Amino acid sequence: MKHVLHVVGARPNFVKAAPVLLAVREKGWRQTLVHTGQHYDRNMSDVFFTQLEIPQPDFNLGVGSGSHASQTAEVMRRFEPVVLEQKPDIVLVYGDVNSTVAAALVCSKLLIPVAHVEAGLRSFDRTMPEEINRIVTDRLSDLLLTPSADGDMNLQREGVSPDKIHRVGNVMIDSLVRLLPLARKCPKNGFPEKFALVTLHRPSNVDSRENLQRVMSSLVEVSEQLAVVFPVHPRTRQRLHEFGIGFDALHFVDPMPYIDFLALQSRSTVVITDSGGIQEETTYLGIPCLTLRNNTERPITVEMGTNVLVGEDKARLDLELENVLSGRSKRGVVPPLWDGCTGTRIVDALSDFLAGH
């Protein structure tokens, strides 16, 4: 029987791994789940496991927070004995976080095959730590599972052999498709009828006082036209506290469980974000998304979806908001292979790969 080992560590990747865990279970293979502990707060981790019905991890490495080097090194140090003992046929890593690159590095040196779910995405901006993680992980992976054609093209341009690349679609959308009916039943919980939903956690927006102050002032202006609901990531909360920034005009709430956040997204008038995954979820939902970044590793959300990159341009934010409020927001379509069946296609690709090994 084949043995697949999954490595997850941070919030977005719980959402990506859930459909693959389900599909592997249906296939009847043995599977082992390792949680690195990069995210450890109850509402950044445990509630996701519960709502997405992810089994309890077989191993929790408990690495916690730290600098990039120390967090990555700690995952490597603690993961190596686990993978040596488990001897899986293949290790699945997800997305672009520090836990992803750390696990890929360990496996490639132990000659254990690595499959990268969400391969090939590029922002072409190496000031983003995630971009470094994407490049290194893809370079080391044996099986590159891409969400869209741009991913295939990026990899081929970097010289990856086409037989390693499998376009499987967007696995995050599998979770959305599965749980949207439940989200639609969530009570409104006193949130306003019309609102802008905001999320913010990129180092480029929140780690400098000046940038965070600038973004927050823009949001206060937004709130003069439309209520702003802002579930605050722990990193952002820490910075707001450190810099002494606080604004009563915004509804700050704690990070939300997956289904509750999906309910809010689907009911929002507009989403303002610097997240990667939320650019995709809004495209699927047809909700206008204004992204506070100058680039995106998910260009299909701009080309086909509802996403607009407003970067740091305050005038552009005002203009796009005006478009939304006057009913002239960008319309989009759902990209191909964003259909809720990516988990199954991933298992098919794994099956072909393992048959040849």
CA of residue 41 relative to chain centroid, distance: 17
317 forms part of the interface with ligand UD1 (CB under 6 A): no
44 forms part of the interface with ligand UD1 (CB under 6 A): yes
Bridge-based pairing of strands 251-253 and 165-167 is: unpaired
Q: Are 108 and 140 in contact (CB under 8 A)?
A: yes
What track of x and - describes contact with ligand UD1 for positions 206 through 245 (by CB under 6 A)? ---------------------------xxx--x-------
Helices (H), the chain: 11-27, 46-51, 68-86, 98-109, 129-140, 149-157, 171-184, 203-206, 209-222, 234-242, 258-267, 277-285, 300-303, 314-325, 342-355
- DSSP for residue 323: H
Closest alpha carbon to 97 in 57, 66, 126, 137 = 137
**Site stretch for ligand UD1 (CB under 6 A), options 8-16, 26-34, 82-90, 143-151:** 8-16
292 forms part of the interface with ligand UD1 (CB under 6 A): no
Beta bridge partners of 273: 199, 291
123 forms part of the interface with ligand UD1 (CB under 6 A): no
CA of residue 228 relative to chain centroid, distance: 22
98 forms part of the interface with ligand UD1 (CB under 6 A): yes
200 forms part of the interface with ligand UD1 (CB under 6 A): no
Q: Which position among 125, 129, 254, 316 is part of the footprint of ligand UD1 (CB under 6 A)?
A: 129
What track of x and - describes contact with ligand UD1 for positions 238 through 277 (by CB under 6 A)? x---------------------------------------
Choose between 258 and 353: whose C-beta lies nearer to ligand UD1: 258
Q: Which of 35, 201, 251, 357 is catalytic?
A: 201
Does the annotation mark 357 as catalytic?
Answer: no
342-355 and 171-184 helices, crossing angle to 10°:
150
Q: Are 290 and 320 in contact (CB under 8 A)?
A: yes
Residues 6+ apart with CB under 8 A from 58: 32, 33, 34
Choose between 154 and 223: whose C-beta lies nearer to ligand UD1: 154
Minimum separation from the CB atom of position 44 to ligand UD1 (A): 4
Minimum separation from the CB atom of position 236 to ligand UD1 (A): 8
Instruction: Using the structure block, give the residue that is written with the tokens 């802002």.
Output: 230
40 forms part of the interface with ligand UD1 (CB under 6 A): yes
Count, residues near ligand UD1 per rule CB under 6 A: 19
116 forms part of the interface with ligand UD1 (CB under 6 A): no
Minimum separation from the CB atom of position 240 to ligand UD1 (A): 12
CA of residue 215 relative to chain centroid, distance: 22
CA distance 79 to 71: 12
Choose between 40 and 243: whose C-beta lies nearer to ligand UD1: 40
DSSP string for 274-301: --SHHHHHHHHHT--EEE-SS--S-THH
Q: In the chain, what's the furthest Cα-to-Cα distance? A: 60
Minimum separation from the CB atom of position 62 to ligand UD1 (A): 12
Q: Which position among 5, 6, 12, 262 is part of the footprint of ligand UD1 (CB under 6 A)?
A: 12
Q: Which position among 11, 16, 78, 267 is part of the footprint of ligand UD1 (CB under 6 A)?
A: 11
Catalytic residues: 201
Residues that bind ligand UD1 (CB under 6 A): 10-12, 38-41, 44, 65, 96-98, 129-130, 201, 233-235, 238
